[in-house]
């Protein structure tokens, strides 16, 4: 089976990108990263990708008067790289409906909450304010409406006594670094299909226990 060609879009430090590159490199994910693209010149993830030998590109949104023009250039860059799946990893740009539809069911995102709870920004602050007992993260296919689309995988993280936004965000980020490679691995293996607005996962084996048992995420050897 041919390896999936993925492009990763970032705007900052690229920690989820780094976890994806490592998973592709060590064989956990049957995918080849063909491009890491950022809309910001100061994105630290670009240097990480270059160090890993992955093609990088800066496409600054500041050089475009209209959002649609930027998205057209982004679309061209992805096609030029031969990307088959677009992975948003902290890409802080709202995408136009036309772009999202052009990459429908070929673009995924990771969001730091258990969607559909807490879409948008400030997820950890809102989760703490709501008094939820579990937070987490979600990998989903992208739709035009913010943080919607078929859910591929989720990981739960307990909210501990004394948590603040920083401590909770740190544990959720650790879960993201496990979950995103897992989800892309399922897609690359052809084990995910879209039925209506649901993602059906045909995994032969269950995901790691740490992704099913939220208490395990709080252990000292996580």
CATH superfamily, domain at 110-222: Formyl transferase, N-terminal domain (3.40.50.170)
- What pLDDT digit, counting tens, does each position of 7-64 carry? 999 999 999 999 999 999 999 999 999 999 999 999 999 999 999 999 999 999 998 9
Closest CA to 128 of 118, 138, 137, 119: 118
Instruction: Let me know: does 128 contact 164? Beta carbons within 8 Å.
Output: yes
Residue 216 predicted with pLDDT over 50: no
For 141, phi then psi, to 5°, come to -70, 145
Please tell me if the domain spanning 1-103 has the same topology as the one spanning 110-222: yes
pTM recorded for the entire structure: 0.91
Pairing between strand 107-111 and 134-141? antiparallel
Active site residue 111: yes
| pLDDT value, residue 213 | 46
What are the residue boundaries of the structural domains of the chain, listed by start? 1-103, 110-222
- What pLDDT digit, counting tens, does each position of 165-181 carry? 999 999 999 999 999 99
CB atoms within 10 A of CB 58: 13
- What pLDDT digit, counting tens, does each position of 83-128 carry? 999 999 999 999 999 999 999 999 999 999 999 999 999 999 999 9
CA distances from 218 to 18, 112, 118, 173, 222 (A): 22, 17, 22, 12, 7
| pLDDT value, residue 185 | 95
Catalytic residue among 111, 124, 140, 177: 111
Give domain 1-103's CATH number out of 3.40.50.620, 3.30.70.600, 3.40.50.170, 1.20.58.760: 3.40.50.170
Q: Is residue 216 exposed (0-12), middle (13-18) or buried (19+ Cβ within 10 Å)? A: middle
């Amino acid at each position: 089976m041919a390896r999936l060609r993925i492009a990763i879009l970032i705007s900052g430090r690229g920690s989820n990108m780094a976890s994806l590159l490592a998973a592709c490199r060590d064989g956990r994910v049957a995918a080849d990263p063909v491009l890491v693209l950022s809309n910001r010149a100061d994105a630290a993830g670009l240097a990480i990708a270059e160090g890993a030998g992955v093609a990088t590109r800066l496409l600054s949104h500041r050089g475009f008067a209209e959002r649609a023009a930027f998205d057209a250039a982004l679309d061209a860059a992805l096609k030029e790289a031969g990307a088959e799946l677009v992975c948003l990893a902290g890409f802080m740009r709202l995408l136009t409906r036309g772009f999202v539809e052009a990459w429908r069911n070929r673009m995924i995102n990771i969001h730091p909450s258990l969607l559909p709870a807490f879409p948008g920004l400030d997820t950890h602050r809102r989760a703490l304010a709501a008094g939820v007992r579990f937070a987490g993260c979600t990998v989903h296919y992208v739709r035009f409406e913010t943080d919607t689309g078929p859910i591929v995988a989720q990981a739960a993280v307990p909210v501990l006594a004394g948590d603040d936004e920083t401590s909770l965000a740190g544990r959720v980020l650790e879960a993201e670094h496990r979950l995103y490679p897992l989800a892309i691995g399922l897609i690359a293996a052809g084990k995910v299909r879209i039925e209506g607005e649901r993602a059906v996962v045909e995994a032969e084996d269950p995901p790691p226990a740490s992704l099913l048992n939220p208490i395990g995420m709080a252990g000292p050897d996580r």
